[in-house]
Structure 1
Amino acid sequence: MFNQLSKYQTPKLYFTPAMQRARRPFAVKNAITGLLLFGFCGAILIIIIKVSYSIMAVKQDDFDDVPMPSPPSTANSEEKLTNDRK
């Protein structure tokens, strides 16, 4: 099956003139589709690279320069809960 020659190919596996004529109307559409797919995949790759770089940059930061608020005390939170219920 795979070793049989097609009637559209020469013994050296080149396309015959009939096959070239049959494919000619689709050449521009196929080229445009290929460029669009290549561009889309390239854009996705760039997005993945940017996101992974951002994640790696945040992992390296220790956030020492960011002030942390003091944790809420339990007495104040209990008073707020009882006042809210009234």
Structure 2
Amino acid sequence: MFNQQSKYQNPKLYFTPAMQRARKPFAVRNAITGMLLLGFCGAVFSYSIVAVKQDDLSDVPMPPPPSSTNSEKNLTNDKN
């Protein structure tokens, strides 16, 4: 099934003239749809970047950094 050559392609895998004629009426509509989808994805990505950039995260409490004595105690407790 996958190894069979399509009747709409020649041996070099180019579209035949019949296939090119069949696709021609849809070329403009497909290009416009592609541009709209690309524009929408770009707008969502841009909005996401801008929304994340303005968040300063200053109200988020930070835990104290781990001290070396606590980590050594945890390691010795894990071994026992």
Using the size of structure 2 for normalisation, the TM-score is 0.70
Matches within 5 A, 1:1-86: 1-55=1-55, 58-60=56-58
SS state at 1:59 partner: coil
Larger CA Rg, structure 1 vs 2 = 1
Hey, what's the Cα distance between the residues in 2 that align with 1:8 and 1:27? 17
Give the secondary-structure state (helix, strand or coil) at the position aligned to 2:26: helix
Query: How many corresponding residue pairs?
Result: 59
Return the offset for 1:26: 0.1
- Taking every aligned residue pair, what percent have the same amino acid on both sides? 66
Instruction: Give me the whole-angstrom Cα distance separating, in 1, the residues matched to 2:4 and 2:51.
Output: 49
In structure 2, distance between residues paired with 1:29 and 1:35: 10
Which structure 2 residue ranges, 5 or more long, are not aligned? 60-80
* Structure-1-length-normalised TM-score: 0.65
Task: Calculate the aligned-residue CA RMSD, in Å.
Answer: 1.2
